[in-house]
Structure formats: structure tokens, C-alpha cells
Amino acid sequence: MRILGIDYGDARTGLSVSDATGLLAGSPSVIEEWNRDRLLERLAAYIRAERIEEIVLGYPKNMDGTAGGRAQKCEELARDLERETGLRVVLWDERRTTVAAHAILHETGKRAKKHRKTVDAVAAALILQGYLDYRRQ
């Protein structure tokens, strides 16, 4: 089962696809798109091309567990992706994934400001791997 992890952003959206067994996150990439409708079209095309069977969308809750404006945008994208693809979208708590992605890049000697696309792709992989690990429990 191929599962897509998404780190949704206003300018860049990170993607990561699981291996066929659904155990490991991999294939990190980024879609650069400001226009939400075009992003939805591009995501739907990607999902069809990659034969994705399930979608995990990072859900950026506030540290106190409440859902703010960014979380609401993710809820809307989830509804639209479900309508467009017919697939279930799981909203996955992504608190601190961007911080963790920055830390990973720092450890590898890459500066996050210079590698913003990489941060988004790594964040998507962290979201997906967290979900995959949870499913195995």
C-alpha cells in the first residue's frame, strides 16, 4: 500500500511516499505552488500517477492542542483532496516536525534557510514515518 505524506505550505508543499509495504517513508519531494486550486490539481495528478492509496496530511495544531488558522487550511485541503481523489485523508498531528527537520539538516551540515525545499520534504517524510510507525503498533 503506497501512502502519501504531505506537509502543506503556502508556497511549498512537501511530499513523501511510503514504500510498497507501507513501512518506510521515502521519495521526498516538493511542489512549489502558491495558488491553492493549482496545488490541488497537481496533488491529484501526483496521487493518480503514483498510485497512492491513502493520504496523510500534516495537521499543525498549536502547542496547547488547539487548532488555529493554519490547521483550518489543512482541514479544507483534506476535504478537497478527499472529494477530488476519493481517498481517505488522515490529519496527523505535526507539532515540531519542522523543528525536527531543521535539526536533521543542521546535523548534516545544511543550512535550513538555503535549503527551504529540503526542510519541507524532510518534514513530509517525518509526518509520514510517524503515521507509519503508529499503524504498526
Q: What is the pLDDT of residue 61?
A: 85
Q: Which domain holds residue 11?
A: 3-136
CATH number at residue 68: 3.30.420.140
Q: What is the pLDDT of residue 122?
A: 87
- Can you give the pLDDT of all 137 residues of the chain as single tens digits? 999 999 999 999 999 999 999 999 999 999 999 999 999 999 999 999 999 999 999 999 887 888 888 999 999 999 999 999 999 999 999 876 765 655 666 676 655 554 566 888 888 999 999 999 999 98
Structural domains of the chain, count: 1
DSSP 20-56: TTSS-EEEEEEEE-S-HHHHHHHHHHHHHHTT--EEE
* C-beta of residue 27 within 8 angstroms of C-beta of residue 68: no
CA distance 43 to 120: 15
Q: What is the pLDDT of residue 109?
A: 63
- pTM for the structure as a whole: 0.88
Q: What is the pLDDT of residue 105?
A: 61
Beta-bridge partners for 32:
12
Q: What is the pLDDT of residue 99?
A: 59
Q: What is the pLDDT of residue 16?
A: 98
